[in-house]
Structure 1
Amino acid sequence: MLEVTAPAVETQLDVDFADIYQNSSLYQRNQELIKELSTPAPGSKDLYFPTKYSQPFPVQCKACFWKMHWSYWRNPQYNAIRFFTTIVIGVLLGLIFWQKAQQTAQQQDLMNLLGAMYAVVLFLGTTNASVVRFVVAIERTVFYRERAAGMYSELPYAFAQVAIETVYVAIQTFIYTLLLFSMIGFKWKVETFIWFCYCILMCFIYFTMYDMMVVALTPGPQIAVIVMSFFLGFWNLFSGFLIPRPQIPIWWRWYYWASPMAWTLYGLVTSQVGDKNANLILPGYGTMPLKKFLKDDFGFEYDFHLAVTAAHVGWVLLFFVVFTYGIKFLNFQRR
């Protein structure tokens, strides 16, 4: 049939099968049948569905979270690398900065302790951001197919992905915190331990969600690596350790507050040593209260805790919202 009805064959035969069909009785019968089937029966109503999806929003969230749970549980390579890296980095940093929190009499001792907090935030935070992108990219491909089938909307999927990551990050934070808090030698006080856990937990969450957000906004993991590395360099530079905030040029100082790492380092330092009034020995300058030294040289104020808490929540919510909207409005699927 395809050979006979090809344009070249029709030209040879001098026949137009389309005209023959339109002038046939079969065509007339088909048109009458289409008109009959297109006319609704008396008393009938238009087909209507009260919602776009078959299940309500809470059920979608539950189903997506359960799906993500099994997806992560059946990916032991990713989880094993995550926890193995946590233990290795925690032990190494603990040994390198062994009991440094007990030595804050000299300026160099204090700088060593600040370096320990800076390393605690940087090493594992960037590691989390580096490994999650491949998992998110694979899950996004599955999401495209299931969303096209009308199984669930974008928000339950984003909620489930963030929720399951938060669960694993919380376990990771607990292991990491126990190792470092004891090995570096911080004081075992409920308030300081909770603050340490909070800052580390929120730090790991926003690092992870930052990479998830970048993956949602880019076509693939390769481009995501370039974008993520570019901004992580600025986060690191303006974290307040390499260049303290009072020494940053005034026209660049705004970016200090736009660096999530700066807020985490601020919270860790002030919560652990920011309330100490013991004298700090400054070579060539005599002594100065430790609390005053942190304020004058680094801009760290102990009474800034509430702002630090709110800033961490704000960064997490920002990355979550952008990740959700990126998943919703950007589709990089190729057929």
Structure 2
Amino acid sequence: MVGLPGVNGLSTEQRKRLTIAVELVANPSIVFMDEPTSGLDARAAAIVMRTVRNTVDTGRAVVCTIHQPSIDIFEAFDELFLLKRGGEEIYVGPLGRNSCHLIKYFEGINGVAKIKDGYNPATWMLEATSIGQEEKLGINFTDIYKKSELYRRNKALVNELSKPTPDSKDLYFPSQYAQSFLMQCVICLWKQHMSYWRNPKYTAMRMFFTTITALLYGSMFWRVGSKMYLTLNIQSTSQQH
């Protein structure tokens, strides 16, 4: 049993690895992860990223959102999709060994400070491309990227991959959902049943409070319903006369 967060069962790091494993059961070609290292210490984050790296080595593509990662975590990725505020692209390309491609790209822009030895490339990248730096240097990193050779290579790659091969066929699904409406109801009911079955304390408390509430309201309105019914009939009769 997974257990309750912060109470029993698996730790936060184990839960994240379990979530990845559950997704891999479906054998996806691409996996999306939203900050897989958030809430973890350095050791646990390294274990999770090793799991992510092993997933990539099996031939699957993994897309992660990372908020100010450490050097070790940042170096675990192959490519970077960097956006500034507003969702505009600043850099889309490979990182390289020790983030050499990323550093070479931004250091090639006039006015951008060189990275210091041993400094985290992720932190340096965010500081160098901040809105304050854009205003200070009088440049727009989005415009610079769209005029770069890297942007043209990415566009050419997208156009190349967008063209289907001659022997390929379009995807076709006979129905909108994989299961019928009845089967969806059965699966949802069974899932809810298992949720209650795995938490007997919660189910017992619900039954207890339901019984107490029923007795309380039942005693408050004992035989009140018949009297109200009689009153309504009398009023209705007087209105007719």
TM-score range, shorter chain: 0.3 to 0.5
State the TM-score, normalized to the length of structure 1: 0.27
Structure (1 or 2) with the greater helix fraction: 1
More strand by share: 2
TM-score normalised by the chain length of structure 2: 0.36
